[in-house]
Amino acid sequence: MLYIDTLIKPSGHTLYNVPADINTLVEMGFEANKAKALYDEAYHKHYWNSFRQKRNERLRLTDWTQLPDTLLRTKEEKKLKEQFKIYRQRLREIPQTYSNPNEVVWPDIPKL
Domain count for the chain: 1
1 three-state secondary structure: coil
Q: Are 47 and 101 in contact (CB under 8 A)?
A: yes
Instruction: Give me the helices (H) in 7-70, please.
Output: 22-27, 32-62
Determine the pLDDT at residue 98.
Answer: 94
Determine the pLDDT at residue 10.
Answer: 87
Determine the pLDDT at residue 69.
Answer: 83
Residue 62 within a domain? yes
Residue 109 within a domain? no
| Rg of the chain, C-alpha, whole Å | 21
Residue 108 within a domain? no
Residue 89 within a domain? yes
Domain range enclosing 86: 3-103
Determine the pLDDT at residue 23.
Answer: 95
Q: pLDDT tens per residue, the chain (112 residues)? A: 899 999 999 889 999 999 999 999 999 999 999 999 999 999 989 999 999 999 999 999 999 999 988 877 888 888 999 999 999 999 999 999 998 888 999 999 999 8
Residue 112 within a domain? no
What distance in Å separates the CA atoms of residue 77 and residue 85, rounded to the nearest whole number? 12
What is the phi-psi region of residue 31: left when phi exceeds 0, alpha when psi lies from -120 to 50, beta otherwise?
beta
Residue 110 within a domain? no
Residue 95 within a domain? yes
Global confidence as pTM = 0.74
Kindly report the backbone phi and psi dihedral angles of residue 81, in degrees, each rounded to the nearest multiple of 5, phi listed first: -60, -40
Residue 78 within a domain? yes
What distance in Å separates the CA atoms of residue 39 and residue 10, rounded to the nearest whole number? 16
